[in-house]
Amino acid sequence: QVQLVESGGGLVQAGDSLRLACAASGRSFAMGWFRQAPGKEREFVATIIWSGGSPYYADSVKGRFTISRDNAKNTVYLQMNSLKPEDTAVYYCAAGVSAALSIPYYSASRYDYWGQGTQVTVSS
């Protein structure tokens, strides 16, 4: 069983930066970040594998967001730079247990555990 706690959200202005953190109790194969804006469906943001490999990003955040991990602290981060108003959403941390690649990395169904979310608001 994995428990996830997100932190680091807040209110910022366009162009500012934030770093989100996700502390995990228990290990998993991969970690992901998703977000959901009011009136919209939950969408994939980024994912990373604990043991290595390359991270993957949604096209909307490439070049601006960076996902990273601290294996000793069992914590995953999402560094968000050059924030835009359209980045405003509740950001959720997710943990996937399975190493199978039959389910795409961008699919929410690949992940088994979810945090409660942290609010990110970017003003114009």
Report d(CA 27, CA 17) in Å as an integer: 28
Residue 100 has pLDDT above 90, yes or no: no
Residue 44 scores a pLDDT above 80: yes
| Residue whose C-alpha is closest to residue 80's, from 6, 31, 20 | 20
User: Nearest to residue 50, comparing CAs of 65, 33, 22, 69?
Assistant: 69
Name residue 17's amino acid.
S
Residues contacting 27, CB < 8 A, separation 6+: 2, 50, 74
Question: How confident is the model over 26-40, as pLDDT tens digits?
Answer: 889 999 999 999 999
Task: List residues bridging with 91 in a β-sheet.
Answer: 35, 118
Q: Is the pLDDT of residue 101 over 80?
A: no
* Cα→Cα distances 117→5, 11, 106, Å: 8, 15, 18
Summarised one tens digit per residue, pLDDT across range 47-82 is 999 888 889 999 999 999 999 999 999 999 999 999
